[in-house]
């Protein structure tokens, strides 16, 4: 994965929220957008809009994809072939959809689908950079559409406390799932995401199975 983009009504307030929860270093960019960094790695660009999270995958030809995602060329910053995720960095993504089309992702990105831990869930794998690795999940659901983004944290309980202190919402309290210990949270201006405690690699538990 190359990077993330968060499109929300209040970019500055939103990036400040995530900086408080995830420890990002924030840089104001031209045009009213902001970028969040962990060390020298770009985590996300936060822009004005209403689209939520957009995921940029790496590829040779930049183009738009379905599900609020895109292909972008350049250095891969995150994912199964990048260095292990540090606190505050993305550590997994899952496509939430009511009408799965796994063949689309095979055509566009060369992914293969393997059965996951539950009915309606698959793991996408890729050999783009060498050996086959798990790159993303896909869940059949009627609750939401688009990409669900996971961020690494050292202590999910402490991160949830910071979410509440910064006027965000804890949508799902810390619970153990096949990926690891997670919680679902949302900022006061949008940007719902999942926090994953101390993932061993991209995808948490999925990276070592």
CA distance 113 to 102: 7
Cβ(76)–Cβ(126) below 8 Å: no
Cβ(73)–Cβ(85) below 8 Å: no
CATH number for the domain running over 3-74+84-208: 3.10.180.10
Q: pLDDT band for position 191 (50/70/90)?
A: very high
Q: Kindly state the helix (H) or strand (E) to which residue 159 belongs, with its residue range.
A: helix 156-165
CA distance 185 to 168: 7
Q: Which two tokens stand for residue 169?
A: 């919402």
Q: Kindly state the helix (H) or strand (E) to which residue 109 belongs, with its residue range.
A: helix 102-109
The domain locations on the chain are: 3-74+84-208
Q: pLDDT band for position 74 (50/70/90)?
A: confident
Percent of the chain with pLDDT over 70: 100
Q: Which residue has the higher pLDDT, 193 or 143?
A: 193
- Burial of 114: CB neighbours in 10 Å, binned 0-12, 13-18, 19+: exposed
pLDDT of the residue at 148: 97
CA distance 55 to 45: 11
Complete edge-to-edge strand list for the sheet that includes strand 3-8 = 25-28, 34-38, 41-48, 3-8, 52-58, 69-72, 63-65
Cβ(69)–Cβ(147) below 8 Å: yes
User: Within 13 Å and on the Cβ side, how many CA atoms surround 128?
Assistant: 21
pLDDT of the residue at 130: 80
- Taking residues 191-199, report their average pLDDT: 98
- Taking residues 79-88, report their average pLDDT: 94
pLDDT of the residue at 116: 74
Which residues are paired to 8 by β-bridges? 48
Q: Which two tokens stand for residue 124?
A: 């996408």
pLDDT in tens, 4-57: 999 999 999 999 999 999 999 999 999 999 999 999 999 999 999 999 999 999
pLDDT in tens, 119-167: 899 999 999 878 899 999 999 998 888 999 999 999 999 999 999 999 9
Q: pLDDT band for position 209 (50/70/90)?
A: low
Residue 114 has what DSSP assignment?
E
Percent of the chain with pLDDT over 90: 86
The phi and psi torsions of 150 (rounded to 5 degrees) equal -110, 140
To which residue do tokens 């990048």 refer?
Answer: 82
List the end-to-end C-alpha distance of the chain, in Å, as a whole number: 20
């Amino acid at each position: 994965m190359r990077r993330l983009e968060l499109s929300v009504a209040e970019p500055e307030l939103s990036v400040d929220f995530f900086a408080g929860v995830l420890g990002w270093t924030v840089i104001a960019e031209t045009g009213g957008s902001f970028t969040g960094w962990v060390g020298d790695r770009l985590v996300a660009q936060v822009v004005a809009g209403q689209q939520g999270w957009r995921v940029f995958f790496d590829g040779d030809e930049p183009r738009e994809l379905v599900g609020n995602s895109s292909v972008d060329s350049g250095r891969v910053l995150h994912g199964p072939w990048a260095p292990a995720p540090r606190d505050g960095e993305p550590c997994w993504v899952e496509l939430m959809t009511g009408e799965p089309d796994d063949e689309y992702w095979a055509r566009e990105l060369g992914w293969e689908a393997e059965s996951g831990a539950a009915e309606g869930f698959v793991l996408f794998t890729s050999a783009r950079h060498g050996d086959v690795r798990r790159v993303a999940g896909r869940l059949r659901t009627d609750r939401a559409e688009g990409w669900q983004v996971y961020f690494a944290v050292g202590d999910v309980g402490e991160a949830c406390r910071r979410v509440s202190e910064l006027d965000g919402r804890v949508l799902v309290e810390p619970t153990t799932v096949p990926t690891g210990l997670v919680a679902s949270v949302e900022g006061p201006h949008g940007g719902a995401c999942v926090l994953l405690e101390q993932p061993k690699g991209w995808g948490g538990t999925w990276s070592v199975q």
